[in-house]
Every structure is written in structure tokens, then in C-alpha cells.
């Protein structure tokens, strides 16, 4: 009797001290704000899968801390993102935020900056986003990173006259800007730039206009989730058989949509940061595990979530579990590791991702279309930050 009373008393004291089970101090919360519903729900789904796969493979304890992932749906409405980030900071006491699409990442930035919350940008591809908070660190990509490289490739391979079709929002504007700069500098001419509404896009009139201008090359940026509809309308207008060369950043051959595009995109060349066909042992493991977990192919969005979790885990290990934003971001700066996409690092000056950009051609492999890499540009920085150093 006496010893069991003693045991109960000891448990009571220990749990009172927070030693009996994981206490608030032992738990590190990560609040990720992404679209799980609405037109960009596919983006949220891939980020969620990437983050959860990382945790399934690496456990939920780092440097003695229990990791708790909280996913919040902003339906890609920036005001929602701001409110949700505020609630995550004030009510849930998150130590880290994860940011998604550009407009939401922009609206969350003041909260990250003023609240001093280390935030991993897992989706946005717009250069300026990382400059909006000193605690923003990116694991996704920038459109500029890919668009200059594909312009140079096109010119080298005979392109002279291009038309650009761009999704009408910040990442589209940057893709078009960097493409046009490189294309013109190398002696090419951009005949016209056509801007397609972001929501519920109908590509047909823009594709017709582009065809009427008789370019030799079509440069296209549409965001994740729109490659499938774009490919369908491209084929419906017969443009896949017109002899016009279709090029772009990796988004137009998104591995999420590519398997459903049949022969339409065969031969299309893009400059991208990730292909599920990337031939490394780590990527083969990643693609297999991802397929098992989700039932579909891993895409370039998913690695932003997977690598985002790695960055948080590695930073916590380096700080010994300390979550102070200044210490964490200092730990993240300069960090380098192998991602399923290849070697990546965090530029210590800009907190932006440095990564390989691959030239890939869509080919049929084992009966399905894949973006097969054939040339590598190593360690590419965001060119817009290199052009105007801050
Ligand atoms: C962005 O939010 O900037 C973004 C999202 C999806 C893309 C590209 C850019 O495919």
C-alpha cells in the first residue's frame, strides 16, 4: 500500500514538473498554412504529403523535442492566411510557420517579422517573398531560376521568335521578365506576351492568338494544377503538331498532371528543379515511398514540403532544440543537404534556395510520359537577387 502511494505521489510531482510526459516546452509546433480546398487544393495536398512523408521516415522527435505538425487551410485566400498565421502564433504558440502560395506568403510576412517566427517558404516561387521577413527561408524555387536557363537553351537550339503565355500573377511576371531578358540578350525576339487569368483559365483564345503570330517558340508558365488543362487545350488547337517549340519552367510538365497528358507533351523541353525521373538513389526511394503513401507520382511541389521539414529538423539539431527565431534562422543559413531533387543549400546572404536546374525532355518510359533530365546547371541562385544585391 505504502509503496504504491509513494509511486502515485512521485508520478504526480514529476508530471507537475512536466517530466512525466511531453510538456508544452518539450513540444515544437509547426503550423503550415496552405490551400487544402479551392482551385489550388492540389498544391496543399502535395505539401501535406511531403511534410508527412518526411516525418514518417524520420520520426517525430528531434533534439529531445516532440514535433507536432499543424496544417491549416487558407483556400489560397491571403486574408485567411494572415488570420490563420496569427492564430497559430498567438493561440497555438507555434515555433515555426510554413508558408504556401505567393499571395498568402506575402500576407503572412509581417507576422513572421514582428512575431519573430522562423518561416519556411514551401511553395512560393516569387523572388521578393524572402525579402518580406528576415525570418523567411525558402525550400521551393524561383521562376527566375528556371526561366533564364530555358531562354538560353532555346536560343542555342535555333529559337528566334517567341511568344510568351503567362499566368497573370507575380510568379508569371517574373518568369516572363527573366525569359525575355535572356532571350533578347542572346539575339531573340519576344513577339508578344499574353497574360492568362490565374483563376479558372481558358487558354484557347491565348493559344489562338499565339498561333496567329507564327512564332518558332512558345514560352509558357502555368502554376501547379494547370498543366493538365493547358496540355488539353494545346492539343485541341493542334499546337502539339504545329512545329512550334513549347518550352517553359518545370511547372508545365508537373509530375502531378504529366501521366494524364498522353502524347501531347512528348518532346517538350523545360528547365526545372525537380523531376520524379531524377536518377538518384534517394529520389527513387522518395518516389516509391510517395507513390505508396498517396497513390500518385511525387511532384516539384512535394519536395518543397519534404525539404522544408528537413530544414526545420536539421536546424533544431544544430540549436540543440532551441526555437528562438534568430538562432534557428542563423542555423539554417548556409545549410546544405541532399534532396530528392539533388544537392541543395540555403544561401546565407539571401535565405533563398540554391539548387540544380535541369534541362529535361518529355519522353515515354515504361508506357508513361516522364520529364527526363539530360543537362544540369549546378547550384543556381535566384537571378533576380543576384542582379540587385541587398
Ligand atoms: C507561387 O505561389 O509562387 C507558385 C505556385 C505554384 C507554382 C509556381 C509558383 O507552380
Q: Is the CB of 40 under 6 A from ligand 1?
A: no
150-183 per-position pLDDT tens digit: 999 999 999 999 999 999 999 999 999 999 999 9
pLDDT at 200: 86
From residue 347, how far is each of 114, 132, 208, 315 by CA, in Å?
A: 23, 16, 42, 15
Helix or strand holding residue 167 (H, E): strand 161-167
Q: Is the CB of 152 under 6 A from ligand 1?
A: no
Q: Is the CB of 126 under 6 A from ligand 1?
A: yes
Indicate the pLDDT class of residue 25, thresholds 50, 70 and 90. Answer: confident
Owner of C-alpha cell 539571401: 350
For the CA of 224, the closest atom of ligand 1 is 10
Contact, 85 vs 110, CB < 8 A?
A: no
From residue 172, how far is each of 102, 147, 148, 162, 333 by CA, in Å?
A: 11, 10, 13, 16, 28
From residue 373, how far is each of 40, 122, 379 by CA, in Å?
A: 27, 23, 16
User: Per DSSP, what are the bridge partners of residue 362?
Assistant: 371
- Answer yes or no: is pLDDT of 21 > 90: no
For the CA of 251, the closest atom of ligand 1 is 10
- Answer yes or no: is pLDDT of 20 > 50: no
Indicate the pLDDT class of residue 337, thresholds 50, 70 and 90. Answer: very high
Indicate the pLDDT class of residue 142, thresholds 50, 70 and 90. Answer: very high
pTM of the model: 0.93
Nearest CA owner, ligand 1 atom 8: 223
Indicate the pLDDT class of residue 319, thresholds 50, 70 and 90. Answer: very high
Q: Which cell is 228 given?
A: 493538365
Average pLDDT over residues 74-82: 98
Comparing 15-29, 65-79, 293-307, which segment has the lowest mean pLDDT? 15-29
279-290 per-position pLDDT tens digit: 999 999 999 999
From residue 176, how far is each of 151, 273, 323, 375 by CA, in Å?
A: 10, 18, 39, 22
Nearest CA owner, ligand 1 atom 6: 223
- Answer yes or no: is pLDDT of 334 > 80: yes
Q: How far apart are CA 54 and CA 302, in angstroms?
A: 10
Amino acid at each position: 500500500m505504502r509503496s504504491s502511494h509513494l509511486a502515485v505521489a512521485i508520478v504526480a510531482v514529476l508530471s507537475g514538473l512536466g517530466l512525466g510526459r511531453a510538456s508544452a516546452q518539450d513540444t515544437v509546433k509547426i503550423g503550415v498554412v496552405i490551400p487544402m480546398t479551392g482551385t489550388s487544393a492540389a498544391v496543399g495536398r502535395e505539401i501535406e504529403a511531403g511534410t508527412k512523408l518526411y516525418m514518417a521516415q524520420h520520426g517525430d522527435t528531434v533534439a529531445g523535442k516532440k514535433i507536432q505538425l499543424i496544417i491549416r487551410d487558407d483556400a489560397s485566400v491571403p486574408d485567411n492566411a494572415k488570420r490563420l498565421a496569427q492564430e497559430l502564433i498567438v493561440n497555438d504558440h507555434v515555433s515555426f510557420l510554413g508558408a504556401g502560395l505567393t499571395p498568402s506568403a506575402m500576407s503572412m510576412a509581417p507576422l513572421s517579422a514582428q512575431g519573430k517566427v522562423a518561416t519556411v517558404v514551401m511553395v512560393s516561387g516569387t523572388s521578393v517573398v524572402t525579402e518580406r521577413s528576415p525570418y523567411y527561408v525558402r525550400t521551393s524555387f524561383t521562376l527566375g531560376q528556371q526561366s533564364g536557363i530555358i531562354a538560353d537553351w532555346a536560343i542555342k537550339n535555333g529559337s528566334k521568335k517567341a511568344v510568351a503565355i503567362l499566368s497573370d500573377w507575380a510568379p508569371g511576371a517574373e518568369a516572363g521578365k527573366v525569359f525575355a531578358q535572356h532571350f533578347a540578350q542572346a539575339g531573340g525576339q519576344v513577339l508578344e506576351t499574353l497574360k492568362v487569368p490565374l483563376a479558372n483559365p481558358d487558354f484557347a483564345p491565348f493559344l489562338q492568338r499565339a498561333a496567329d503570330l507564327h512564332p518558332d517558340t512558345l514560352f509558357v508558365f502555368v502554376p501547379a494544377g494547370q498543366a493538365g488543362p493547358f496540355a488539353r487545350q494545346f492539343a485541341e488547337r493542334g499546337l502539339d503538331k504545329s512545329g512550334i517549340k513549347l518550352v517553359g519552367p518545370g511547372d508545365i510538365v508537373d509530375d502531378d498532371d504529366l501521366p494524364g497528358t498522353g502524347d501531347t507533351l512528348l518532346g517538350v523541353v523545360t528547365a526545372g528543379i525537380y523531376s520524379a525521373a531524377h536518377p538518384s538513389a534517394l529520389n527513387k526511394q522518395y518516389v516509391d515511398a510517395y507513390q505508396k503513401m498517396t497513390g500518385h507520382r511525387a511532384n516539384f511541389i512535394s519536395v518543397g514540403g519534404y525539404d522544408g521539414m528537413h530544414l526545420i529538423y536539421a536546424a533544431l539539431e544544430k540549436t540543440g532544440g532551441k526555437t528562438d527565431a534568430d538562432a534557428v534562422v542563423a542555423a539554417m543559413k548556409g545549410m546544405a543537404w541532399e534532396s530528392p531533387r539533388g544537392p541543395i543549400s540555403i544561401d546565407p546572404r539571401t535565405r533563398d534556395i540554391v539548387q540544380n536546374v535541369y534541362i529535361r525532355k518529355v519522353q515515354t518510359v515504361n508506357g508513361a510520359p516522364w520529364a527526363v533530365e539530360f543537362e544540369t546547371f549546378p547550384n543556381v541562385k535566384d537571378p533576380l537577387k543576384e542582379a540587385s544585391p541587398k
